[in-house]
Structure 1
Amino acid sequence: MSWVQFPPPAFFLILILAFASPAILSEVQADATISQEITSTKVNFNASGLNQLSTSGPPSSGSQSGSVSPLGGTVKATFASNPFYYDLTPTNDEWTASMYLSGTGNVWMKVILETDTGIIGEVDSSALTLNGNPSEVVVTGSGFSDALITQDASLTLTYEVRGNSPANVNMRWGEELYPSHLELEADFVRPTEVRVADPGEVFDDDDGDYGRRNIMVSADIETKVDLKAMMSQMILWVKDGDADLEILEPEVEGEEGQYTVNWLIPEIGNGSNISVVVAWLADDGVVRWNSTTWEWVFPVASDDPLLSQGTLMILQFSTAPLLLIVGYWLFKRNRIFCSEDGELKELEYRAFNNLIFSTCCFFIAVLNIMFFIVNHHIRNLGAAESQIILHLGVLALIYGVSGPLWGRIADKTGNRRSLVKMAGIIGVSASLLMAPMGLWAFFGMSIILMAALGVQRLHFALASEWFEEQKGEAIGILYAFGYLVTAVFAVVDGSIYQWLGIWATCITSALLIAAGTISFLRIDTDKTETIQKKVETHTSSLTKFDSKWVKWCLLGAMLVAIPRGAVVLTSPRYIETRGFDIAMTSLFESWAILALIILYVVIGKVCDRHGAERVLLASAIAYGLLWSFFSLGLSPWMSVAIYLIPIVPLLLVSNDSLLSRFTTKEERNRGLGMAGAATYIGQAIGIALIVGLMSWFESSNRSDIEVYHLAYQSNIPLFALAVAVTAWLSIRIGKEHLSNE
């Protein structure tokens, strides 16, 4: 999912789907990486029958008797295991053997443990006095961790009883009261795959979500010896939202070290995802568990979908002519905007079109190429996932910070043309130079390129100067055209990279930057340069402005942007974990771009007529109300409905419009740069905040859904703070405006 929003028709349709469509399971998506960590398990090799070491099923009884003395005689019993199915890795150096002895006299016992390749260890017991009653003799040896036990190898355990005095000895094993055995600790059990064998049936849980019944989970278990009896005591721990379930008494299939264990989960309340851990009861009575957590997402689908796949495809293709219609409307709207009393102001129209074209070229270079293709390319250069996220964050931060820096220089020199030309040369050079570079050189050069592209904020400052009384609509039109061309270019930018490689992408970036620069330079000089007045300005500082409201406006926008970055920008991954079928939203995503294009123009007019401070307040209220409800954990359909409601144009256009109103022409470039920086830096703070919160909540062993909910709910006070500050700002600016009339 992208972060774009979508229009009322799709909103109503998705609400119908939310309330009228019963959800079912379509395709279960699994998420787990098998842990390489060894799970240690204690297993008893029971002495059984005629010289066997048995690991499964009840042993059979046996005995060995004889007389011993200091002069000679030995009572001896030897037991051998079946061959191991796989190589065994010991996890404890010690091993323990026991035997029940009865008789009369004073004796001692030697125990020898060996494999096909030699003796593992041998140990002697202390002196024993037999009094006629069976007693257990336990000895503990060492050396097991050094043993090499390979596939098809066997263990041999030998008991030898000798006399310290004349004695009669009776060895006993395999009886319920006398279970003589060898105890070892190693990686005897290893789950190799856990899967949903049967997703069960869906039911309405009467809480606005859906649940499931009779889910069958199967696990393939590899054991090094025959452990079928242990398999019948396998445990499935299930995390279902806030609930923890323990599923016992599984059905077991298979033999000879390859088992399939099936658990039936009677009912779960959270209808979209669960996580499970496989555990088992070792022979020492201690529960052991595998370190892999298996998670499943159950995508939502309709039992009788309102839109068939064919209908959905037709509507998706119909988006192309809709895009043309909206584009045509936008061009007509721009022509009307540059007219007065029905007469087109030709020179102004041509100049504004050059500015629009230049803005569009920079928009594509930033959004389509830098944030998408370039960030994707560093993965192919060998970047780790954390480095990819770092690169994306650094690009956003540099783009936000560079705007005020370009603006400060423009305010100080009054020469926008030279700055745009300089940025264009840097951008073209960086685009071409970084194509053959390795990871970190490419990383650094992309930062230089993004800093050059930050000059785009001068375009918005220039538009606000040309249309002093309609600055909001002018800014909105620039945004609208920018998103129109990025929507069109999004169709081909991935293909350019996939088919032609990074060189073609970088050349495309260079051509776009060059075209944008040339288009800007075609604007008449008197329209691009700031008229410097003989007044004292605060160009020595980025944050000092003549109007007291500038800092308050920047603060208000940043306070809205912080929880937006924390919750809104991270919500696509949350929606995926809720199991939403991404294919069903492709139609709404395409409509979303159309909504933004229209809304940017409309919001610009609203800012001019009713005050940008009120629009900024409206954005804070909309984000606060809708996304606070979102954080409470709604049904998947309702979550998507909130996610796709358009709000971001209210924030961006009102922020730029306010800074245009409260800055002088000598401060305008810097002011519009600071407007962009406030939103970008605010969102970066929000993302850092949510990462910290989620890491903290994850440390308490909570499910992914619960972590998201708690982290999102922690941002509700920030939404409230944003509403409070923007409300105060709107009231104060409104009162000052009335007092000045």
Structure 2
Amino acid sequence: MKRERVVLQGRREKAGKLRKLQIKRKNVLILAVAMFMANVSFGMAFPYLGVYMRLLGASMFMVGLLSVAFNLTSTIFQYPFGWLSDSSGNRKSFIAFGTASIGLFYMVMAFVGSATGVLLLRTLQGIFGSAMMPAHSALISELSTRAGSIFGLFNSIENAGYMVGNFLGSAIVRYLGVRKLFLISGFLLFLSAGIVLLIRERPTGRRSLLGIILVQEGRKGWRSTVKGSAFRRLMRGHLGLFYVTVFLVMVASGQFYSVSSVYFREAFGEWSVGVIFGIESLAAALTGYFLGKLIDRHGAKRFYLTAIAGYGLAFLLYALVKNVWLVFGVAFLSGVKWVLTINSTSAYVAQNVKVGERAQGMGMLNAMMSLGWVVGPLIGGYLSGISFTLNFVGTLIPLGLAFLLALRLPG
């Protein structure tokens, strides 16, 4: 009798593990489909935001402000949304809410007739869209114990979607116009949000969202609301230094990418914008999973250093190369350094932050990226008004400092 109970218990445990594995695999598939579709939308719309602003009469500095507005609000709101996701144990609702919000504001952009209106809508995208990012990264990290591989897989899938969007966006703008592009992009994001809600999450028994976000008298901003969170621990020691290096890398990224679509349009023609971004995304899609596996095997630090060096090389080549066919080769290199950056930084956080604080850790990573994109576009918009080449070469200063600081990180 006792032996039968032991055998029965063993079968139950085995069946339970198999059921959990099946659910996890199904969740991977659902999230992959949803994020592929979302990134098709992002790839369609993002490269043409700066072009749209110019068509509406904006200056180069105002084009830079477009990125500043989005990333400033995103920086402020990502960490609180990450804390809410950790506290509630909820990932999919935050992902769906953020995705649908971005889609809504893209659709409204199609009916706006002024650059100021687009700037306001982009600001609102930063506020509400920031709900998606920490929960998205945390959910991915929970789908596998091999952080580098799972982030590599999703980065390949998402960059493949972004690449498809880049090429589709180029065709849509040519035949239907920019406004129709934003409408189609918004529709795809609503569809993506609906698919995300199909994910099955395990109940955590944690506090309800009502108890977390209910406004109480005497509160002094969100810092006191997140009392007891991991913020201070995340900003201490080598993790704090790591986040500083990410900020510096993204300053350089913001300098370049906030004005790059305008530069490509003026230097090589409007058709080139989607194609160049598409090649970057193609490179990231082809190499993301492979690079993620290498990160698992050899550690995140050395690949992060390689990524920073890749940024410097890509931006310098963009400044010097004037032949569009050679620029396509630079774009492929640029795509590799981007996915290497995302894989290595995400894996570094996943490996150094405990599970219960992971959305906060990922939220801090995303916040540092967004904060860099607050400072970088201001510099990029100003310097590009003088010379695009001056701006692109100028990215080597924050990148060089980031590389030197990253050398001090533990391996």
The answer, yes or no, to whether TM exceeds 0.5 is yes
Change (3 A) 1:672 1:383: same
Change (3 A) 1:499 1:591: closer
Change (3 A) 1:451 1:508: farther
With the length of structure 1 as denominator, give the TM-score of the two structures: 0.43
With the length of structure 2 as denominator, give the TM-score of the two structures: 0.72
Change (3 A) 1:516 1:405: farther
Whether 2:168 is the aligned partner of 1:492: answer: yes
Residue 137 of structure 1 corresponds to which residue in structure 2? none
Structure 2 residue runs of 5 or longer lacking an equivalent are 1-19, 208-224
Query: How many matched pairs?
Result: 368
Give, in angstroms, the shift of residue 586 of structure 1.
Answer: 9.8
Residue 338 of structure 2 corresponds to which residue in structure 1? 648
Q: How does 1:21-40 map to 2 (within 5 A)?
A: none
Cα distance in 2 between the residues matched to 1:355 and 1:644: 26
C-alpha contact (below 8 Å) 2:166/2:278 kept by paired residues: no
Supply the AA of the counterpart residue of 1:412: S
Residue of 355, 363, 377 corresponding to 1:665 = 355
Change (3 A) 1:644 1:513: closer
Supply the AA of the counterpart residue of 1:390: L
Cα distance in 2 between the residues matched to 1:463 and 1:681: 23
Cα distance in 1 between the residues matched to 2:199 and 2:28: 8
C-alpha contact (below 8 Å) 2:107/2:186 kept by paired residues: yes
Supply the AA of the counterpart residue of 1:391: L
Residue 21 of structure 1 corresponds to which residue in structure 2? none
Change (3 A) 1:568 1:361: closer
Residue of 605, 610, 614 corresponding to 2:302 = 614
Whether 2:352 is the aligned partner of 1:677: answer: no
Residue 84 of structure 2 corresponds to which residue in structure 1? 409
Whether 2:389 is the aligned partner of 1:708: answer: yes
Deviations 1:112-133 (A, max 9, x none): xxxxxxxxxxxxxxxxxxxxxx
Cα distance in 2 between the residues matched to 1:372 and 1:623: 19
Structure 1 residue runs of 5 or longer lacking an equivalent are 1-343, 699-703, 735-741
Change (3 A) 1:376 1:395: farther
C-alpha contact (below 8 Å) 1:554/1:655 kept by paired residues: no
Which of these two proteins has the greater Rg computed from alpha carbons? Answer: 1
Cα distance in 2 between the residues matched to 1:587 and 1:377: 17
Cα distance in 2 between the residues matched to 1:628 and 1:491: 22
Change (3 A) 1:670 1:364: farther
C-alpha contact (below 8 Å) 1:461/1:672 kept by paired residues: yes
Residue of 239, 243, 267 corresponding to 1:554 = 243
Whether 2:399 is the aligned partner of 1:723: answer: no
Change (3 A) 1:395 1:368: farther
Q: How does 1:507-546 map to 2 (within 5 A)?
A: 507-526=183-202, 532=206, 539-540=226-227, 543-545=231-233
Cα distance in 2 between the residues matched to 1:724 and 1:431: 39
Cα distance in 2 between the residues matched to 1:674 and 1:454: 12
Change (3 A) 1:391 1:542: farther
Per mean C-alpha deviation after superposition, the further-off stretch among 594-603 and 431-440 is 431-440
Give, in angstroms, the shift of residue 464 of structure 1.
Answer: 0.4
Cα distance in 1 between the residues matched to 2:34 and 2:77: 18
Cα distance in 2 between the residues matched to 1:511 and 1:552: 40
Residue 444 of structure 1 corresponds to which residue in structure 2? 120
Residue 286 of structure 2 corresponds to which residue in structure 1? 598
Change (3 A) 1:658 1:420: same
Please identify which structure carries the higher helix content.
Answer: 2
Deviations 1:31-58 (A, max 9, x none): xxxxxxxxxxxxxxxxxxxxxxxxxxxx
Supply the AA of the counterpart residue of 2:94: L
More relative contact order, 1 or 2 (CA 8 Å, 6+ apart)? 2
Please identify which structure carries the higher strand content.
Answer: 1
Change (3 A) 1:712 1:425: closer
Cα distance in 2 between the residues matched to 1:648 and 1:502: 26
Q: How does 1:236-315 map to 2 (within 5 A)?
A: none
SS across alignment from 1:667: helix
Q: Give 4+ residue runs of structure 1 displaced > 6 Å after superposition.
A: 571-577, 579-589
Residue 390 of structure 1 corresponds to which residue in structure 2? 65
SS across alignment from 1:474: helix
Whether 2:244 is the aligned partner of 1:563: answer: no
Supply the AA of the counterpart residue of 1:727: L
SS across alignment from 1:545: helix
C-alpha contact (below 8 Å) 1:477/1:601 kept by paired residues: yes
Cα distance in 2 between the residues matched to 1:358 and 1:507: 18
Deviations 1:557-576 (A, max 9, x none): 22233334445776787789
C-alpha contact (below 8 Å) 1:532/1:666 kept by paired residues: no
Q: How does 1:45-56 map to 2 (within 5 A)?
A: none
Give, in angstroms, the shift of residue 436 of structure 1.
Answer: 3.6
